Amino acid sequence: MCGISGGVFLHSVNAEAAQSSVRSLHRRGPDHQAVQFYDDWFLGHARLSILDLSENGHQPMRSSCGNFSLVFNGEIYNYKALRAELIRLGYSFQSDGDTEVLLNGLKHWGMDILPRLNGFFAFAYFDHVQQICWLARDRMGIKPVWLCSHSGGHFFASEHKALYPLGMGRELNPTAVRCYFRMGYIPGPISVFKNGQQLMPGHWVKLSKSGFEEPKAWWSLPVGMDSEIAPIPSYQTAVKRVRALVEEAVADRLISDVPLGSFLSGGVDSSVVVAVASQRVKGLHTFSIGFKDQPYFDETRYAEQVAKRIGTEHTTFSLSNDDLLNQLPGMLAQMDMPFADSSALPVYMLCQETKKHVTVALSGDGGDELFSGYHKHAGEWAVRNDWKKKLLAEVLSPFIKQFAGGRGSAIENKIRQLNKFREGSRLDAFERYRRWAGVVGDRWVEELVLNPGTLDQEKSLLMPLVDGAGILSTDFNGVLAADLQLVLPFDMLTKVDLMSMANSLEVRVPLLDYRLINYVHALPSSYKIDGQRKKKLLIDAFRAELPVEVWQRRKQGFEVPLMPWFRKELKGLLNETLNLEKIKAQKVLNPLAVNMQLNRLNSKNPGELPFILWSLFVWQTWYDKTLIEE
C-alpha cells in the first residue's frame, strides 16, 4: 500500500516539484519515500510497508536488467502463485513481496498480465529504452489514478493534490461542479479541474512524451449470463457457490506481515467477512464506531452481538459530538477534491482509532452494490413489480408531499423515502436512476451554480456508467451494474480510500473479489432481491453464522447528525464559511440561493437540507483551501 506519482517534464526535470508531489502523499506511505529521475521522466513512491518489510521492497523498483522500473500501490493476493510460475520461466527474485513479482510479470507478459492479477492496484510501469510508461487501475477502482496534462508535461498521481506541484491548472470543470452538487461526488473520468482526469476502473493507458493515449478497458462487468455459470444454476447451488467464493476471497486477503483486523458495523456485509475471517485468524480483532450522544445513529449493539456470537476481540469506539466535531478539520483537510458524503467523518475516525491497533483492516464494502442491499433497490423492484405500492404512493401523495421528510428520525426518513419513491415511479429507468443516485433535483443545481454546465453534458457523462450495456430498462441487474460502475468507485471506494490513507491504514474488501463479482453479477436478479428481502443470496449463504437480529434488521446508513450540528455547534463555522460577500466575489455560486438555504435552518420540514448545507460547507472549505489559500 502506498502512493505513486510520476510523469514526464517536457522542458526539464523539476526535481523540487517531483519531490513535493511525493511528500504530499506521506500519509499514504509513511514508511519510505523516494523519487527517481530518468532524464526527463520521474517516478515517485511513498510506501506503507505490508509485505516484505525490508529495504528490498522499496520503490521505485528497477528490474535486474535495468530496462524497466515500477511504482505500485496495492496488493496482489495471488503473487506467490505468479512468483512460482515466473521462477519456472527462469526469473530470480531478491525480495519476498508482491512488487518484484509484478515487475517481472510485466517484463514477461506486458499488460497481458492484468487479467492474471487478483488484487487491488494502481501502478506505473516504465520502459527506459522506449521511453514509455504504462499505467493501470484495478477492476473495481479500489485504488485511484489521477492524470494531468499541460504545456509543461504529462503527470499522474494517487491523489489530486499530488498533481498541484506539477502544474495542474485550477480552472473549474462546470460538469464536475454540477455533478458534485447533485450527487455529492464527481464521477469519472472527469476531475473538478478541466485539465485533470481519472483513469477509469479496469482501464490502462500508455504515456509517452507526446502525452496520454486513449485509455483502454482491460476488464468490464459481465453482461447477461456468463459462460462460466451457464446454464443458470439452481438457487441452492448458487448459495453454496457464493459461500465458497466469499470464503476464498477472505482467505486471500489475510496475507500480511503486519497486524490485521476487521471493521464490524453489525450489518450483514461486515458480519459475513468477520465470520469467515475469524475461522482462520484466532482472536481476530474487530472494530466498530458509535455515537453515544445520538442513539438513532448508533448501531454498535449489533456489532457487539456479532462479536460475541463469533468470538472476536472486539473494540467499540464510542464517540461524543465533541469527538466528531474536534476531528472535523482534520478530516476536511484530507479532501483534495470536493466530496460531500458525510459518512466520511465517522469512517475517518474509525480508521484513525483502528490504526492504533492494526495496519490492515478488512471491510464489507461492495456487498450492497453486488447483492442488492440498498433501500433504492427495494424501491426499484417495487416500481417494476409491485403495482399496489405504486398505487398506494399515488393515493398518499396529497398528504406526504406536504412533508419533505429528512434523515433525523425513522419517521422523517420514511416520509423522505415515500416522496422519493413517488417521484421516481413516474420517470423512465434512466431518469429514475439518475434521480435516485443523486440527492437533489436539477432545479436546485440550476439555482445554485452560476455556470453549472448543461443537463445534456451531465447525462452524457453518466450514461456509459449507468447504462453502458443498454439493459437498465429490461434487467434489474442493470441497476446493480450502474451502482458497481458509478456509486461504488466514485463514492464508496473513494471515501474509504481517502479516509483510510489519511490514517496510513490499508483496507481490504473481500466482497469485491473479481471471481465473486463475475459469478454473482451474472446470476438472475431474483436470486438477490424480491418483494420481501434484499441481499437474500448472501444472507442465505451465511445465515447459520449470524445472529438473527443482523439479517432481520432494517438497513441504516453510516450517517452523522448534521442538522443538530448546523443548528448549534457548527452554526458559527457554517455562517463564517458560507460568507455571502465572499461567495458573491468568487462568482461560482449564487449567494441568493445559498442564503435561502441558510434561512431554512430552523425549518420543521428540512427534507434534504442537511445534505445541501453539508455539500455547500465542504465545497466552500475545499475552495478556500485550494483556490484561495494556495
| Residues 541-580 pLDDT 10s | 999 888 887 777 666 666 678 888 899 889 999 999 999 9
Exposure string for 106-123, b = 16+ CB within 10 A, e = fewer: bbeeeeebbeebbbbbbb
Look up residue 161 and give its three cell numbers. Answer: 493534490
Section 159-179 average pLDDT = 94
Look up residue 7 and give its three cell numbers. Answer: 510523469
Residue 625: CB atoms within 10 A of its CB come to 15
Fold of the 235-287+299-311+340-371+480-552 domain = Rossmann fold (3.40.50)
pLDDT attached to residue 33: 85
pLDDT attached to residue 526: 94
Residue 77: CB atoms within 10 A of its CB come to 21
pLDDT attached to residue 54: 65
pLDDT attached to residue 77: 95
Distance CA 137, CA 150 (A): 22
pLDDT at 29 over 90: no
Cell match 429507468: residue?
429
Characterize the bridge pairing of strands 260-263 and 41-47: unpaired
- Residue from 606, 569, 576 nearest 320 by CA: 569
Planar angle of CA 480, 485, 490, nearest 5 degrees: 120
Task: Specify whether the CB–CB gap between 46 and 179 falls below 8 A.
Answer: no
Q: Which residue has the higher pLDDT, 12 or 287?
A: 287
pLDDT attached to residue 227: 46
The predicted-structure confidence for 17-26, as pLDDT tens digits, reads as follows 999 999 999 8
Distance CA 70, CA 110 (A): 12
Q: Tell me the sheet residues that pair with 156.
A: 6, 147
Section 593-602 average pLDDT = 93
**Crossing angle of helices 268-278 and 300-310, rounded to 10°:** 20
Planar angle of CA 352, 120, 50, nearest 5 degrees: 55
pLDDT attached to residue 594: 96
Section 412-429 average pLDDT = 77
Q: For the purposes of burial, counting CB atoms within 10 Å of the CB of 43, is it exposed (0-12), middle (13-18) or buried (19 or more)?
A: buried
Section 118-125 average pLDDT = 97
Residue 88: CB atoms within 10 A of its CB come to 8
- Residue from 53, 36, 54 nearest 44 by CA: 36
Distance CA 139, CA 143 (A): 10
pLDDT attached to residue 396: 63
Task: Specify whether the CB–CB gap between 626 and 168 falls below 8 A.
Answer: no
Q: Domain spans of the chain?
A: 2-217, 235-287+299-311+340-371+480-552
Per the CATH hierarchy, to which homologous superfamily does domain 2-217 belong? Answer: Aminohydrolase, N-terminal nucleophile (Ntn) domain (3.60.20.10)
Look up residue 514 and give its three cell numbers. Answer: 473479481
Section 270-297 average pLDDT = 88
Common-topology check for domains 2-217 and 235-287+299-311+340-371+480-552: no
Section 153-173 average pLDDT = 94
Q: Tell me the sheet residues that pair with 122.
A: 73, 137
For residue 289, what is the enclosing H or E element? Answer: strand 285-291
In whole numbers, what is the pLDDT of the chain averaged over residues?
Answer: 90
pLDDT attached to residue 421: 77
Residues in the chain, overall count: 630
- Residue from 426, 9, 383, 441 nearest 183 by CA: 441
The predicted-structure confidence for 178-233, as pLDDT tens digits, reads as follows 999 999 999 999 999 999 999 999 999 999 999 999 999 999 998 765 445 568 89
Cell match 425513522: residue?
410
Cell match 511525493: residue?
22
Look up residue 495 and give its three cell numbers. Answer: 471515501
pLDDT attached to residue 604: 80
The predicted-structure confidence for 33-76, as pLDDT tens digits, reads as follows 899 999 899 999 998 767 666 677 688 999 999 999 999 999 99
pLDDT at 539 over 60: yes
Range in 101-115, 325-339, 359-373 with the lowest mean pLDDT: 325-339
The predicted-structure confidence for 436-474, as pLDDT tens digits, reads as follows 999 898 999 999 999 998 999 999 999 999 998 888 999
Distance CA 20, CA 247 (A): 42
C-alpha 204 chain-centroid distance: 19
Distance CA 265, CA 603 (A): 32
Planar angle of CA 444, 446, 449, nearest 5 degrees: 100
pLDDT attached to residue 405: 56
pLDDT attached to residue 422: 76
